[in-house]
Amino acid sequence: MMPVFLRSFALLAAVMLGTGLSEAATERDLEAPGPLGPLSGTYLDAGKTAPVLLLVPGSGPTDRNGDSASGLKPGTLKLLAEGLAGRGISTVRVDKRGMFGSARAVANGNHVTIQDYVTDVQNWISVIRKETGTRCVWLGGHSEGALVVLAASQHSQGVCGLILLSGQGRPMGELIRAQLHANPRARTVLPQIDSTIDALEAGHRVDPLTLHPGLQALFNADVQGYLIDVMRYDPAALLKAYHGSVLLVQGGKDHQISPTEDLPLLQAADPRATTVYLPSASHFLTDMPGVDSKTMTGAGLPSFGPLDPDLVPHVAEFVLGH
């Protein structure tokens, strides 16, 4: 283990040299093998000896930058990668199989399992180690991506450690139930919500046509296989089984992952984990000072500010300190 004074000196040097490293960083496309076609990603190279962080995006049609096809454009992962490059940390941010640049990897991006994503993470680790010569790769996941890297950590060969960004502490069924129960517009259909989630947790499909129209898209037939699979995973149990370095990052203005329910479960699962709590940060880790609800654009979509200013320094300090 690096002595404390040397580790502190290394961190100070990285901060002081941050601007120069940013100017020297180069970006290019990178591919990893997928089932039917290649997986696509972006390698932001901060230098030959730089540590490398693999960034896994969140749920649904979310691309390598952290932007969604639904119109949400926070750019979380791209901004994080660029900030880390300025502090001497390389990143590879990736598109999930069946989506965006990885569309040819599988026929249907909805017909996947967590284990499929784990396989992809393992393939990315192999490619990154071969490409860079690094001994191990840091795994970072945002939101549902945090669950993916937790599952991947159970096969920890080549993994330096984990960075869980806005990661859930509860199983997915419990999380979806809590999110829907908190929505005032869902009050009239709560019994149907609960019975549907109960069925999926038990491994049973439901007929979407029997559901309220407002629930049919959420529980459509094409995604029920994935929901059944993902609801089997307990993130706290996965974290407890992992024995490497862990950074937990949680925003205080997160409306999807609870700072008072999810974060304590993860902290209890790994008391040694380092926690970074950003009081003004949203779920996407953009800063929302003094804002208790989403700021909307004219198009009815949330408006996103810059990344919380403490995010990049804390992530960089954690990686360089280990």
Q: What digits encode the pLDDT tens for the residues 283-292? A: 999 987 654 4
What is the spatial distance between Cα 4 and Cα 306, in angstroms, rounded to a whole number? 32
Is a pLDDT exceeding 70 seen at residue 11?
Answer: no
Indicate the pTM of the whole model: 0.90
In the block, residue with structure tokens 């129960």:
181
The stretch 38-51 carries a mean pLDDT of: 97
Q: 296 versus 91: which is more confidently predicted?
A: 91
C-beta pairs of 45-48 under 8 Å, 24+ apart in sequence? 45/90, 45/132, 46/21, 46/84, 46/85, 46/87, 46/88, 46/89, 46/90, 46/91, 47/21, 47/88, 47/90
| pLDDT, tens only, 147-197 | 999 999 998 789 999 999 999 999 999 999 999 999 999 999 999 999 999
- d(CA 213, CA 286) in angstroms, rounded, equals 32
Q: Is the dihedral of CA 282, 243, 233, 159 positive or negative?
A: positive
CA distance 230 to 233: 6
Domains of the chain: 4-170+234-321 (3.40.50.1820), 172-232 (no CATH)
Q: What percent of the chain has pLDDT over 90?
A: 85
Structure token digits, residue 229: 């699979």
Distance CA(301)–CA(25), nearest Å, equals 33
For residue 8, what pLDDT band results from cuts at 50, 70 and 90? Answer: very low
Q: What is the mean pLDDT of residues 101-129?
A: 97
| Residue-wise DSSP of 12-36 | HHHHHTHHHHHHH-EEEEEEE--SS
Contact 199, 227 (CB under 8 A): no
